[in-house]
Amino acid sequence: MKLTFEVQGEELLVRHFDRAIAGVKDFKLFMPKMADLFDEIQQNWFNSQGNGTWVALSPAYAAWKAINYPSQPLLVLTGALAEAPFTAKVVGDKLTVQSDAPDYWKFHYHGTSRMPARPPYIVDQTVRRALGREMRKLIIAYLRGIK
């Protein structure tokens, strides 16, 4: 059996737990903690401005923003994007990612010809590993508890 997560339409294989999952009847037990971990990772990513990887604003735009929206960090102008984080929700036995973010989040994620990419959320190998480690811990704790 394979454990997979679907995030933003991209199928992400987290781990094969062939031996361990034989004793697990219902993965729904683990999904709330996995959702919490995903949310924590995403909030840290946004608050740390992409772990410090987001490119600074252009000098002209930075000057305009300093006058019109002083003290606002990258990706925050009105607050609409920051207030609509990408969060995980448990639906049945699946962890789905959703957001009420304005449609322009895609421009920040991919960048444009005039703006560098500053992804407001991240699902990379580090996130996959963190989710996989957490799932492994939860499964081991579960299996130890039922013996």
Cα distance between residue 52 and residue 41, in whole Å: 14
Cα distance between residue 82 and residue 73, in whole Å: 10
* 14-61 pLDDT, tens digit each: 444 455 556 667 777 888 888 899 889 999 999 999 999 999 999 999
pLDDT > 50? residue 11? no
What residues have CB less than 8 Å from 60, skipping those under 6 apart? none
What residues have CB less than 8 Å from 55, skipping those under 6 apart? 116, 118
* 117-146 pLDDT, tens digit each: 999 988 888 888 898 889 888 888 888 886
* pLDDT grade for 1, boundaries at 50, 70 and 90: very low
Give the per-residue pLDDT at 64. 97
Cα distance between residue 44 and residue 122, in whole Å: 10
Give the per-residue pLDDT at 21. 58
